[in-house]
């Protein structure tokens, strides 16, 4: 194996890394979707009774915890604590749930910022013309909200893809784990991990490009 | 004014400018003599602010020449006669006699009023702190802002901030002051205090070129009025010729709203 | 449910580990600020090469997961001749990683200064260097404090990954207790609370710093 060229080795890594990348993207997409849905629910709960009471306080605690502690810690807790009580959860599921619960905290804040981005006066005007709240939301708030939060949403998407590398520590077969497996076999950490890094760079770059393209579609009438 | 014929302080020949495909200035010829007050008026989009900003090279003109005291501003002539951009340092030297007052004041909010006026003196003109403080103090007194020397811009009203802006321009001892709509950003009741300062400067013999929408003020204080439209000079004349009894139909159309509004005003008698 | 006696026993170890987490974070903060400011100042010179270098640095370092950066430095560099112990590797990686974010923070704060102030300074004959030092820096740096504070918390959360390369900070210490003593709840509880507490501390400190900076702005009437 010593006579292989760099090019030959890189070509050999490709299938493993590609498979890992697919897993990474799948996990990331699932986590972002989960994070969005749960984040929206959290936002709804936190707005109950004008922000006072048990539920909004619970949401605030949730947000503080998930934003104030490392994702790695959340992942480890979610993986090992159930197993301490005899519940063995599949790593892939734990990975998606942990990433999703974490992302929800950030997406909740993003959505909240989006809500206040629409000036109250516009909503008042719409209401004074007799528009029902649902229609006001659909035609006045939603379009502007989407435009206002888009950069933050794309940024969160990039973050989830990057954060997903952490799930390799609980043996999910993602891109980072693929890299570790190759290194364990051929002891060439520098070129393998740089290749892995380049793969992530391509993926995050693709997310940014997609975000940019979608924004262009949004601006069109 | 029986001044002997001398080189005009600011001289424009054939000045033109485009922003991409959009032509904003064409064929501007203008001479400003020492001690003159010249107002640039015209509808929005006429290029008057761009023209003013070309006079201190905040905007780079594309054609023609702008000369400050005879020196070519922003460029030098190559051997073939073409315009070549000059370095920042040379540009700063040529435009040193010109000081600007901005529509948005552009004071530096983290410095006191006194520090704002002193900064160009200590940092650009190399004055010692005590010298700069003396000069700055005089300039602030001239505009009536001495009492606020230790305040910071956010604590002042718009009119007060603009007066500080004028003091800052005065302190460097300019030969020409450019005023870019000095009162347009002010609440109506604050406009007069600034106009008073500008009036007193003109009486003191300061050469001023002013872009303004205050027609009565322009008529009162200016030696000449330049009316611009669509990037060209339509006419240059005395206030009487341009504002009080405009012959040009386009100027008449431009001044209509102002005349209509002023006719209800007690001072409209001056419109004879 | 929770063995409070055990909690008491674990406190010293966790206290020492927390100090190491803090040390690592501060190293990343200090190093990152220096690197980030250097790249930003380089970009402000306007030289085309400098801008290109800045864009390459911020794009590449922010587009690859911190875990991969860590692997490249700790596992990869030795084969290129540079062997670092876990603390040095984690600190260096954190600094260069954080620097990319700090550089962008500085760039955003510089852009937030109204152009008119720069124009006025230029008209009055101030050189680019003078404008940078006396007009831009005082205002932009003050504006950057809240962003630097939140970035510090992000760095602290990333520091948890140093556990993967065996630096005995909080996460690794908790992991050790779990695997050696077969207890789950107490170590993870302490772990989460430690990070949570630290992030609340950073927020409190940032608030105080911001208040102090604002106080210096407004003079006594």
> Nearest 10 degrees: CA dihedral of C210, C212, C217, C218?
120
pTM (2 d.p.):
0.83
Q: Does C175 touch chain A (CB under 8 A)?
A: yes
pLDDT grade for B271, boundaries at 50, 70 and 90: very low
Domain boundaries, chain A: 6-219
Q: Identify which has the larger pLDDT, B269 or B54.
A: B54
Domain boundaries, chain C: 4-217
Question: A6, A27, A60, A76: best mutation site toward chain C, by most C Cβ within 10 Å?
Answer: A76
What subunits touch chain B, counting only 3 or more CB pairs under 8 A? C
Strand partners, B28: B15
In this predicted model, what pLDDT tens digit does every residue of B9-55 receive, in sequence order? 999 999 999 999 999 999 999 999 999 999 999 998 899 999 999 99
DSSP state of C74: I
Q: Identify which has the larger pLDDT, A94 or B4.
A: A94
- Shortest distance between the Cα of B96 and any Cα of chain C, in A, equals 7
Q: What is the ipTM of this complex?
A: 0.90
- Asked if C125 and B107 come within 8 Å (Cβ–Cβ), the reply is no
The pLDDT, as a whole number, for residue B265 is 54
- Asked if B119 and C134 come within 8 Å (Cβ–Cβ), the reply is yes
Cite the beta strand spans of chain B per DSSP E: 10-19, 22-32, 37-41, 63-68, 71-72, 75-77, 83-85, 98-101, 176-180, 207-211, 224-229, 232-237
Rg (alpha carbons) of chain A, rounded to whole number: 21
- Asked if B124 and C127 come within 8 Å (Cβ–Cβ), the reply is yes
Would you say A166 and A128 are in contact if contact means Cβ atoms under 8 Å apart? Answer: no
Task: State the Cα–Cα distance between residues A195 and B247, nearest whole angstrom.
Answer: 77
- Asked if B110 and C138 come within 8 Å (Cβ–Cβ), the reply is yes
The pLDDT, as a whole number, for residue A145 is 84
Among residues 142-161 of chain C, which lie with CB inside 8 Å of chain B?
142
Closest Cβ opposite residue C72 in set A73, A164, A190:
A190
> Residue C77: closest CA among chain A residues belongs to which residue?
A190
The pLDDT, as a whole number, for residue C219 is 45
Question: A72, A166, A180: best mutation site toward chain C, by most C Cβ within 10 Å?
Answer: A72
Would you say C9 and C192 are in contact if contact means Cβ atoms under 8 Å apart? Answer: no
Cβ-based contacts under 8 A for chains A and C? 109
Which of B42, B40, B45, B56 lies closest to B19, judged by CA? B45
Q: Does C23 touch chain B (CB under 8 A)?
A: no
| A206-to-A19, A124, A216, B199 alpha-carbon distances in Å | 17, 40, 15, 61
The Cα angle at residue C100 between residues C192 and C52, in degrees rounded to 5: 160
Average pLDDT of chain B to the nearest whole number: 89
The pLDDT, as a whole number, for residue A115 is 83
Q: Which two tokens stand for residue B31?
A: 């001479």
The pLDDT, as a whole number, for residue B4 is 56
Task: State the Cα–Cα distance between residues B108 and B230, nearest whole angstrom.
Answer: 34
Would you say B234 and B228 are in contact if contact means Cβ atoms under 8 Å apart? Answer: yes
The per-residue DSSP string of A80-139 comes to HHHHHTT----HHHHHHHHHHHHHHHHHHHHHHHHHHHS-HHHHHHHHHTT--HHHHIII
- What percentage of chain B has pLDDT greater than the value 70? 94
- Asked if B106 and C122 come within 8 Å (Cβ–Cβ), the reply is no
Residues 6 or more apart from B237 whose CB is under 8 A from it?
A: B224, B225
Residues of C in contact with A207 (CB under 8 A): none
Q: Which two tokens stand for residue C15?
A: 């206290």
Among residues 119-138 of chain C, which lie with CB inside 8 Å of chain B?
119-128, 130, 134-135, 138
Task: State the Cα–Cα distance between residues C194 and C188, nearest whole angstrom.
Answer: 10
Tens-digit pLDDT profile for chain C (221 aa)?
778 888 888 999 999 999 999 999 999 999 999 999 999 999 998 899 999 999 999 999 999 999 999 999 999 999 999 999 999 999 999 999 999 999 999 999 999 999 999 999 999 989 889 999 999 999 999 889 989 999 999 999 999 999 999 999 999 999 999 989 888 888 999 999 999 999 999 999 988 888 877 766 554 33
Q: Does C16 touch chain A (CB under 8 A)?
A: no
The pLDDT, as a whole number, for residue A124 is 76
Cβ-based contacts under 8 A for chains B and C? 68
In this predicted model, what pLDDT tens digit does every residue of B142-163 receive, in sequence order? 999 999 999 999 899 999 999 9
Angle between helices A71-84 and A91-117 (to 10 degrees): 140
Strand partners, A150: none
Among residues 67-126 of chain B, which lie with CB inside 8 Å of chain C?
88, 92, 95-96, 98-100, 102, 104-110, 112, 119-120, 123-125
- On the question of pLDDT at B2 being above 60, the answer is no
Q: Which CATH architecture has domain A6-219?
A: Orthogonal Bundle (1.10)
Task: State the Cα–Cα distance between residues A12 and C209, nearest whole angstrom.
Answer: 53
The per-residue b/e assignment along A136-172, b for 16 or more CB within 10 angstroms, e otherwise, is beeebbeeebeebbbebbbbbbbbbbbbbbbbbbbeb
- Asked if C75 and A179 come within 8 Å (Cβ–Cβ), the reply is no
- On the question of pLDDT at B117 being above 60, the answer is yes
The pLDDT, as a whole number, for residue B83 is 85
Among residues 183-242 of chain B, which lie with CB inside 8 Å of chain C?
none
- Shortest distance between the Cα of B189 and any Cα of chain C, in A, equals 24
Tens-digit pLDDT profile for chain A (221 aa)?
456 788 888 888 899 999 999 999 999 999 999 999 999 999 989 988 777 888 899 999 999 999 999 999 999 999 988 887 888 889 999 999 999 999 999 999 999 998 888 877 777 777 777 777 777 777 777 878 888 899 999 999 999 999 999 999 998 999 999 999 999 998 899 999 999 999 999 999 999 999 999 988 877 65
Residues of A in contact with C195 (CB under 8 A): 68-70, 73
Would you say A62 and C185 are in contact if contact means Cβ atoms under 8 Å apart? Answer: no
Q: Identify which has the larger pLDDT, A84 or B137.
A: B137
Query: What CATH homologous superfamily does C4-217 map to?
Result: MetI-like (1.10.3720.10)
In this predicted model, what pLDDT tens digit does every residue of B60-74 receive, in sequence order? 999 999 999 999 999
**Could you tell me where the DSSP H helices lie in B35-128?**
48-54, 88-94, 113-119
Touch A-B: 3+ C-beta pairs under 8 A: no
- On the question of pLDDT at B260 being above 60, the answer is yes
- Asked if A73 and C72 come within 8 Å (Cβ–Cβ), the reply is no
Angle between helices A175-186 and A189-219 (to 10 degrees): 160
Task: State the Cα–Cα distance between residues B228 and B232, nearest whole angstrom.
Answer: 6
- Shortest distance between the Cα of A200 and any Cα of chain C, in A, equals 6
Closest Cβ opposite residue C117 in set B58, B108, B150:
B108
Touch A-C: 3+ C-beta pairs under 8 A: yes
């Amino acid at each position: 194996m010593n006579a292989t060229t760099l090019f030959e080795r890189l070509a050999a890594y490709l299938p493993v890394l590609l498979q890992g990348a697919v897993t990474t993207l799948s996990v990331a997409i699932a986590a972002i979707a989960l994070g969005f849905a749960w984040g929206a629910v959290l936002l709804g709960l936190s707005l109950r009774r004008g922000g006072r009471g048990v539920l909004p306080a619970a949401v605030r605690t949730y947000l503080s915890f998930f934003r104030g502690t490392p994702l790695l810690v959340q992942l480890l807790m979610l993986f090992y604590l159930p197993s301490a009580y005899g519940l063995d959860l599949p790593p892939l599921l734990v990975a998606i749930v942990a990433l999703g619960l974490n992302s929800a905290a950030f997406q909740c804040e993003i959505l909240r910022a989006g809500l206040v981005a629409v000036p109250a006066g516009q909503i008042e005007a719409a209401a004074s013309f007799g528009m029902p709240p649902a229609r006001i939301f659909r035609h006045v708030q939603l379009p502007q909200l989407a435009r206002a939060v888009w950069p933050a949403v794309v940024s969160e998407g990039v973050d989830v893809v990057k954060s997903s590398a952490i799930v390799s520590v609980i043996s999910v077969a993602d891109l980072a784990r693929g890299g570790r497996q190759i290194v364990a076999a051929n002891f060439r950490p520098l070129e393998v991990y740089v290749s892995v890094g380049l793969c992530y760079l391509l993926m995050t770059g693709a997310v940014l490009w997609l975000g940019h393209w979608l924004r262009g579609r949004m601006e069109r009438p | 004014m029986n001044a002997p014929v001398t080189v005009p302080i600011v001289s424009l020949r054939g000045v033109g400018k485009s922003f991409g495909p959009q032509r904003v200035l064409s064929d501007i010829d203008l001479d400003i003599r020492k001690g003159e007050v010249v107002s640039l008026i015209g509808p929005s989009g006429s290029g008057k602010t761009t023209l003013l900003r070309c006079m201190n090279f905040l905007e780079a003109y594309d054609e023609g020449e702008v000369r400050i005291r005879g020196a070519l501003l922003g460029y030098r002539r190559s051997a073939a006669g073409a315009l070549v951009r000059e370095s920042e340092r040379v540009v700063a030297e040529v435009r040193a006699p010109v000081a600007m007052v901005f529509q948005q004041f552009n004071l530096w909010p983290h410095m006191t009023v006194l520090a704002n006026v002193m900064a160009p003196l200590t940092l650009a003109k190399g004055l010692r702190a005590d010298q700069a403080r003396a000069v700055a103090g005089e300039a602030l007194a001239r505009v009536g802002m001495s009492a606020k020397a230790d305040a910071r811009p956010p604590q002042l009203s718009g009119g007060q901030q603009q007066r500080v802006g004028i003091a800052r321009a005065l302190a460097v001892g300019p030969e020409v002051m450019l005023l870019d709509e000095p009162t347009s950003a002010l609440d109506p009741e604050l406009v007069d205090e600034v106009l008073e300062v500008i009036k007193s400067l003109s009486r003191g013999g300061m050469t001023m070129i002013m872009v303004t929408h205050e027609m009565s003020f322009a008529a009162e204080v200016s030696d000449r009025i330049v009316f611009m439209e669509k990037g060209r000079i339509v006419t240059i004349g005395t206030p009487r010729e341009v504002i009080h009894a405009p012959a040009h139909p386009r100027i008449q159309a431009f001044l209509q709203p102002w005349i209509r509004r002023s006719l209800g005003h007690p001072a409209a008698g001056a419109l004879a | 449910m929770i063995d409070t006696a055990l909690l008491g026993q674990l406190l010293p170890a966790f206290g020492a580990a927390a100090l190491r987490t803090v040390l690592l974070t501060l190293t990343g903060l200090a190093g990152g600020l220096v690197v980030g400011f250097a790249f930003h100042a380089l970009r402000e010179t306007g030289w085309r090469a400098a801008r290109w270098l800045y864009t390459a640095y911020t794009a590449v370092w922010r587009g690859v997961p911190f875990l991969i950066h860590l692997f490249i430095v700790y596992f990869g560099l030795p084969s290129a001749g540079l062997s670092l112990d876990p603390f040095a590797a984690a600190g260096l990686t954190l600094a260069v990683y954080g620097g990319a974010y700090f550089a962008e923070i500085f760039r955003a704060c510089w852009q937030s200064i109204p152009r008119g102030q720069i124009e006025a300074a230029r008209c009055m004959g101030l050189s680019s260097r003078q404008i940078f030092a006396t007009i831009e820096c005082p205002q932009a740096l003050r504006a950057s404090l809240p962003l630097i504070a939140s970035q510090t918390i992000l760095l602290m959360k990333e520091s948890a990954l140093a556990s993967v390369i065996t630096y005995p900070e909080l996460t690794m210490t908790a992991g050790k207790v779990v695997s050696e003593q077969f207890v789950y709840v107490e170590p993870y509880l302490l772990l989460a609370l430690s990070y949570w507490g630290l992030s609340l501390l950073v927020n409190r400190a940032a608030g105080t710093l911001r208040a102090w900076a604002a106080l210096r702005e407004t003079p006594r009437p």
